[in-house]
Amino acid sequence: MTQFMVGSEVKTKGKLAKFASYLMNVKTTEEKNDALAKIAEQLLIEKDAILEANKKDLVSGKENGLTDAVLDRIMLNEQRIQAMCEAIFQLISLPDPIGEVLESFTKENGLKIEKRRVPLGVVCMIYEARPNVTVDAATLCLKTGNAVMLRGSSSAKHSNIALVSCIHRALEKSALPIDAVQLIEDTRHETASELFHLKEYIDVLIPRGGKKLIDLVVKEASVPVLETGAGNCHIYVDQSADYEIAEKVIINAKTQRPSVCNAAESLLIHKDWFKLHGKKLLTNLENAGVEIIGDEKVCDVLPHATLASDEDYATEYLSLTISVKIVNNVDEAIDHINYYGTKHSEAIITNDEKSAEIFLNRVDATSVYVNASTRFTDGFEFGYGAEIGISTQKLHARGPMGLPALTSTKYYIRGNGQIRG
C-alpha cells in the first residue's frame, strides 16, 4: 500500500481514475469481457490469500464487538468466492450497452446527428461491510466502460485490499488500464466527505448500504447521486379480491425474505372484504409467524394485535411484523400509500379491472403490481441479468437498475461545414 497524506489519496486516485476512464471508453466488448474473465481466474488463483486477509477482518471485527450478523456479511469462504466468479461469468454473457445508437437523424442542412450510449466516466461506490460488493461494483463498472473508485468500510479493509490487488493483477494481463479500479484504503470519515465533493473527477456516486449511509450521501454530496432506497411496500386488498390470491401473495411478500426492501410492510384492506375474510386472513398470517399491528377494526377481531400509530404506518420493519389498516375504497388506499410509502413497490389484489387501472396509474412508485407479490422488484427477476441496485429516485433510472443505468449518452454530429444562421 502506497502511503498518502491526508486527503491526497482521494485526489490522486480520483485523477488516476479520470485518466483511466478516457482510455476505458474506447475499449471493445471483447477486451472488457476478456479482462472480466481474467479477474474471475485470478480470484481463484489468489483464493487463499483473500481468505487469509478476510480472517484478519473477522478477528478484528470480533475484537471490536461487531454483531454476528455483520460478521456474517464480512465473511468470505470458498463458496462465496465461487459465487463471485459465477456472477462475473453471468456479467460477461450480458450484452454490452456501450455504443448503442439510441437516436439517429439527418437535419435539413445535412448535419447527421446520432445519440449514442457512452460510459458515465468515473463511478464512485461507497458501501458497507460486504467485501463481495468490491468485486461486484468493479466488474459492473468495467463491463460498462467506466473507471471505478471504491470506498468500502474499515471493517472489511484487509479483504478489500486483497480483492483489489487481485483485480489489479488480472488487469495487468488484460487490455484495460489497471488504474480503472481504485480502492480508497483510508476509511476515515474525511475521505468519504472528500469523495462527496470531488466533482472534478467523479461523475456519479452510488451509495450501497443502509438508510443512514444513503441519507448521508444524498444530503452531503455535490457530485450527482444514484439513490437506492428503502421500501415501505404496501399490499391493498380490494373489495373484489380473490381470497386465495390475496393470502398467498401477502404471505409471500411478507415472509419469504422479510429483511429486503421489496418485502411488504403494510396491508390495506377494503372494509367489505375485511368483514367477509379479514379474520381468516390475519389469523393465517399470525400462524405464518407474522406479528400484526393494526387499527381499531383490526384489534376488534384479532385479540393479539397491537394498536397501530401513525409512526407504524411509516415504518419499514424488515422483520416478520406488518401494519394493517382498513380503508373505505381504492382512493383511500392510494392516498395512504402516496403519503406513507417510500415509492418502491406497491400491489393491489383485485378482480376489478377499473380498480386495477386506477391503482396502476395513480400510485407513485417504481413498480406497481396487480395480483402479484412485491418481491419481484429485482434486476434478475425482471430479466436484466444484473442489478446495480433499485433506484427509488425519479431521475436517470427508476426501479431495478441493469447495466444501462451505468451509462450516459453523447451526441455524435457529422457535417461538412454547416454553420448556424
Return residues touching its own copies (CB under 8 A). 22, 25-26, 105, 107, 111, 113, 115, 120-121, 199, 203-204, 218-219, 222, 224-227, 242, 244-245, 248-249, 252-253, 256, 338, 356, 360-362, 364-373, 375-377, 381-383, 393-396, 398-399, 408-420
- Give the span between the Cα atoms of 146 and 17, in whole angstroms: 9
CA angle 396, 398, 402 (to 5 degrees): 85
- Give the span between the Cα atoms of 35 and 174, in whole angstroms: 5
Pairing of strands 306-307, 291-294: parallel
From the CB of 175, what's the least distance to its own copies, in Å?
A: 16
| 84 vs 365 by CB, closer to its own copies | 365
Question: Coil, strand or helix: which one is 31?
Answer: helix
From the CB of 125, what's the least distance to its own copies, in Å?
A: 15
From the CB of 252, what's the least distance to its own copies, in Å?
A: 4
From the CB of 333, what's the least distance to its own copies, in Å?
A: 13
Q: Cell numbers 483489489 label which residue?
A: 164
From the CB of 79, what's the least distance to its own copies, in Å?
A: 21
From the CB of 372, what's the least distance to its own copies, in Å?
A: 3
| 252 vs 323 by CB, closer to its own copies | 252
Q: Cell numbers 459465487 label which residue?
A: 83
The residues that bridge with 264 in the sheet, in sequence order, are: 233
Measured from the Cβ of residue 303, the count of other Cβ atoms closer than 10 Å reads 6
Q: Cell numbers 429483511 label which residue?
A: 259
Cβ pair 405, 388 in contact under 8 A: yes
- Give the span between the Cα atoms of 131 and 325, in whole angstroms: 40
- Give the span between the Cα atoms of 166 and 263, in whole angstroms: 36
| 54 vs 262 by CB, closer to its own copies | 262
| 278 vs 399 by CB, closer to its own copies | 399
From the CB of 224, what's the least distance to its own copies, in Å?
A: 5
- Cβ neighbours for 416, distance < 8 A, ≥ 6 positions apart: 110
| 190 vs 364 by CB, closer to its own copies | 364
In the DSSP assignment, the letter for residue 223 is S
Question: Coil, strand or helix: which one is 325?
Answer: strand
Nearest C-alpha neighbor of 201 from the set 26, 27, 13, 23: 13
| 67 vs 105 by CB, closer to its own copies | 105
| 82 vs 255 by CB, closer to its own copies | 255
- Give the span between the Cα atoms of 403 and 387, in whole angstroms: 7
Pairing of strands 321-327, 264-270: parallel
Nearest C-alpha neighbor of 180 from the set 386, 13, 404: 13
In the DSSP assignment, the letter for residue 298 is H
From the CB of 46, what's the least distance to its own copies, in Å?
A: 33
- Give the span between the Cα atoms of 140 and 32, in whole angstroms: 11
| 175 vs 370 by CB, closer to its own copies | 370
| 203 vs 387 by CB, closer to its own copies | 203
| 58 vs 137 by CB, closer to its own copies | 137
From the CB of 419, what's the least distance to its own copies, in Å?
A: 4
From the CB of 279, what's the least distance to its own copies, in Å?
A: 22
